[in-house]
Amino acid sequence: MAVITISREMGTGAYHIAEELAKRLKYTLVDGARISANAAKYGLSPEMLQMVDEKPPSYITAEDRKRAAALNTIELLLLNFARKGNVILYGRGGQDLLKGCENVLRLRFTANFEERVERFAERYWIDPDLARSLIRRSDHQRGGFIHFYFDRDWSDPLGYDLTFNMSHLSEETALEIIVGAIKDPVFKNSEKSAAELIDNMILKKKIETALLNSPALDYRPFTIVAGKGKVIVSGYLSSEEEKIKALKIVESVKGVKSVEADIHVVNYKDYKERQ
């Protein structure tokens, strides 16, 4: 059940490589189109998907929390595909989402900026100045998403197993290297431990999403640890009533067997008003 994640800069040709890789390995490519096709099953509207996909979340207002919940739902979709194995997760922080899973081959595609501009402009028949603007915005947005959501520098090479400079490598060379790398026995040998880890991630995301979607809570992000159905929830809420509601929500999530709470009641609203 090996998983390949692809992080890419716009204009590197990474998508064509991902498509060809999926054909050669007979893997499922989980890209924007496949996420859109499955979104309705997870309760995501096309409008909300467009609003949150690969964009940094916020938790300040009720509307912000809806967007954060939608982003969590996208991650649940990705995790469910990863749990099945033999998939390619295209973008969306897959390499960081599956942190700790040893059955994941993490790839990064980069290239010279002006070469990316030329490639992108030629492919879509657009003015190079417009291509530059779109690529800069894409790089900023994707880098911001990884920094905000996973607290990591998007370009840090330590976040990837293989980085391909497509200014110097052909697509065929990159493909041959990847196909060879995924045959390493480490991916097969780590399937069991990875499956258990992903199951825990899925449960954690379900709990986070349920809490974010609750109109009864003035939710702030909790620290949630899940393992084999046992859940530890820690954080802060503004009242005992909210604490009781939060615990009921956690207990109602399918797969939760027991809950240990370390939720502190802090009237931060009054504190804020006094400042």
Does the structure show a pLDDT above 90 at 212? no
Read off the pLDDT of each residue in 3-17 and give the average, rounded to a whole number: 96
d(CA 99, CA 150): 10
Q: Per-residue confidence at 213, pLDDT binned at 50, 70, 90?
A: confident
- The whole-model pTM stands at 0.88
Delimit the domains of the chain by residue range. 3-182, 194-274
Both tokens assigned to 226: 């899940």
In this prediction, residue 271 carries a pLDDT of: 47
The domain 3-182 having CATH identifier 3.40.50.300: the answer here is yes
Which tens digit of pLDDT belongs to each residue from 21-53?
999 999 999 999 999 999 999 998 998 888 888
Sign for the CA dihedral angle at 136, 138, 143, 144 comes to positive
In this prediction, residue 191 carries a pLDDT of: 85
Both tokens assigned to 256: 């939760």
In three-state form (DSSP H/G/I as H, E/B as E, the rest C), the secondary structure along the chain is CCEEEEEECCCCCHHHHHHHHHHHHCCEEECHHHHHHHHHHHCCCHHHHHHHCCCCCCCCCHHHHHHHHHHHHHHHHHHHHHHHCCEEEECCCHHHHCCCCCCEEEEEEECCHHHHHHHHHHHHCCCHHHHHHHHHHHHHHHHHHHHHHHCCCCCCHHHCCEEEECCCCCHHHHHHHHHHHCCCHHHHHCHHHHHHHHHHHHHHHHHHHHHHHCCCCCCCCCEEEEECCEEEEEEEECCHHHHHHHHHHHHHCCCCCEEEEEEEECCHHHHHHHC
Residues 6+ apart with CB under 8 A from 74: 35, 39, 42, 44, 49, 52, 53, 92
Read off the pLDDT of each residue in 75-88 and give the average, rounded to a whole number: 95
Which tens digit of pLDDT belongs to each residue from 150-205?
999 999 999 999 999 999 999 999 999 999 999 999 888 888 899 999 999 999 99
CA-angle at 65, arms to 60 and 70, nearest 5°:
145
3-182 and 194-274, same CATH topology: no
Read off the pLDDT of each residue in 217-227 and give the average, rounded to a whole number: 82
- Top-confidence residue, 103 or 216: 103
CATH class of domain segment(s) 194-274 = mainly alpha
Q: Per-residue confidence at 273, pLDDT binned at 50, 70, 90?
A: very low
Q: What percent of the chain has pLDDT over 90?
A: 69
In this prediction, residue 219 carries a pLDDT of: 63
Question: Looking at 36-40, 85-89, 234-238, 251-255, which range is the least confident one?
Answer: 234-238
In this prediction, residue 4 carries a pLDDT of: 97
d(CA 216, CA 149): 25
In this prediction, residue 58 carries a pLDDT of: 59
In this prediction, residue 59 carries a pLDDT of: 56
Read off the pLDDT of each residue in 96-118 and give the average, rounded to a whole number: 96
